[in-house]
Amino acid sequence: MDAVFKALADPTRRRLLDRLFAGNGQTLGALCAEARMSRQAVAKHLALLEAANLVATQRRGREKLHFLNPVPINEIAERWIGKYERHRVRALADLKKNLEGKSDG
Amino acid sequence: MAEKFVYVTYIRTTPEKLWSALTEPKFTRSYWCETWHDTDWKPGSSWKLMIPDGRVGDAGEVLEIDRPRRLVLKWRNEFLPDMREEGYSRCTFDIEQANGAVKLTVTHEIDKPRSKFLQSVSAGWPAILASLKSLLETGDALEQTKHWPKGM
């Protein structure tokens, strides 16, 4: 769980997860195209996300595809959101989203 | 372009126990929204995921089975017409030993861009896999996936 929080603590890595959320199964090259940083830097961030199990990879020929893996985030949420509170929390999150017009960045 | 989701979870268990939890009704009913598999688990056999009220939720075929390492299912939604008409998807379960834990990879794919069916199952998998992990590690599934959603 430490690895997940550490991985999520960085805005660049959160942005990479956003990119995968928008388009799952991307190559390093595709993720670099918009990242405005070196290929090595992106590769390092992706390795950290993979170590935290937030990104899963699969090979396709010579390419490596990156997939957003939200399972650890679900595990974290379940740890502190009790069985009776879930609907209330979701309702509040929806309310916040509606009032603010967008989700957290 | 095909659509594909990949989910990974590491579970402190054995491949055999994980296999049982994935395939046997007494386990799936407790963490997978009370559903259960209706199949004889032979390659080429028909496969159904049954909803507790008796409806067929999803159906297809056992494409590949190698206990306790790999299971591939041909998978189509059966109870929601707009999802059913998207046709068959493919769901692969891969189980590997990984540093004292077992790594479960679930790959769900369909040859249909912007598939509503895949969007919908992919919203469900993280919760079901987290619940499966909880069941195997603590003996109790997560509340979120213990029951079939009301009105669905």
pLDDT level of residue A102 (50, 70, 90 thresholds):
low
Mean pLDDT in residue range B55-77: 98
Task: Name residue, tokens 């390093």.
Answer: A28
Q: How far apart are CA A59 and CA A64, in angstroms?
A: 5
Domain B3-145 has CATH 3.30.530.20: yes
- Assess B107–A contact: CB distance below 8 Å, yes or no: yes
Element (H, E) at B31: helix B25-31
Q: Is the pLDDT score of A90 beyond 80? A: no
- Assess B63–A contact: CB distance below 8 Å, yes or no: no
Question: Architecture of domain A2-69 in CATH?
Answer: Orthogonal Bundle (1.10)
> How confident is the model over A36-89, as pLDDT tens digits?
889 999 999 999 999 999 999 999 899 999 999 999 988 887 777 665 566 667
From chain A, the residues in CB contact with B3 under 8 A are 24
> How confident is the model over B70-127, as pLDDT tens digits?
999 999 999 999 999 999 999 999 999 998 899 999 999 999 988 999 989 888 999 9
Q: Is the dihedral of CA A98, B124, B28, B53 positive or negative?
A: positive
From chain B, the residues in CB contact with A3 under 8 A are none
Contact A71 B105 (CB under 8 A): no
Give strand ranges (E) for A1-105. 55-60, 63-68
| Residue ranges covered by each domain of chain A | 2-69, 75-105
Q: How far apart are CA B16 and CA B13, in angstroms?
A: 8
ipTM of the complex: 0.83
| Residue ranges covered by each domain of chain B | 3-145
pLDDT at B95: 98
